């Protein structure tokens, strides 16, 4: 599947490192999302971008910094993370903006481990 791609697929980083996660969608969608998936917890919405404008920040710590240069690309910049930030980070996109009920298509995720 190539609709929504994410790199890297796996990332191990120390608490003092700076890294970035990348997401790209090839579906012509207008909205992109970052979710955090931790074991035995619901998917947590972190950020939403509509037409590359951020419309949602669900009280995410500032050590996570999103960037959306265009409607096809989404980044999540990471710095000074904590071990509890270890999780699967999923990117998703939808045709309509997040105020619609269009289907969200997920990428394969980045498995992040913070040592």
Q: Using CB under 8 A as the criterion, which residues of the chain lie in contact with another protein when the complex forms?
A: 1, 4, 40-43, 45, 48, 55-56, 90, 98-101, 103-109
Q: Among residues 18 and 103, whose Cβ is nearest to another protein?
A: 103
Q: Please state the closest distance from residue 66 (CB atom) to another protein, in A.
A: 16
8 A C-beta contact, residue 24 and residue 4: yes
Q: Please state the closest distance from residue 80 (CB atom) to another protein, in A.
A: 27
Distance separating alpha carbons of residues 88 and 69, to the nearest angstrom: 23
Q: Please state the closest distance from residue 44 (CB atom) to another protein, in A.
A: 8
Calculate the CA dihedral of residues 2, 95, 110, 24 and round it to 10 degrees.
60
Q: Among residues 2 and 16, whose Cβ is nearest to another protein?
A: 2
CA distances from 23 to 15, 44, 62, 90, 109 (A): 22, 17, 19, 9, 9
Distance separating alpha carbons of residues 58 and 22, to the nearest angstrom: 20
Q: Among residues 86 and 104, whose Cβ is nearest to another protein?
A: 104
Q: Please state the closest distance from residue 13 (CB atom) to another protein, in A.
A: 20
């Amino acid at each position: 599947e190539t609709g929504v791609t994410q790199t890297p697929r796996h990332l191990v980083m120390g608490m003092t490192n700076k890294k970035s996660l990348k997401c790209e969608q090839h579906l012509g969608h207008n909205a992109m999302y970052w979710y955090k998936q931790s074991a035995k917890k619901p998917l947590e919405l972190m950020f939403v971008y509509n037409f590359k404008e951020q419309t949602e920040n669900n009280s995410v710590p500032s050590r996570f910094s999103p960037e959306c240069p265009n409607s096809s690309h989404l980044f999540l910049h990471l710095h000074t993370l904590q071990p509890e930030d270890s999780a699967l980070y999923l990117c998703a996109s939808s045709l309509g903006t997040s105020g619609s009920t269009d289907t969200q298509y997920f990428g394969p995720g980045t498995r992040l481990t913070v040592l």
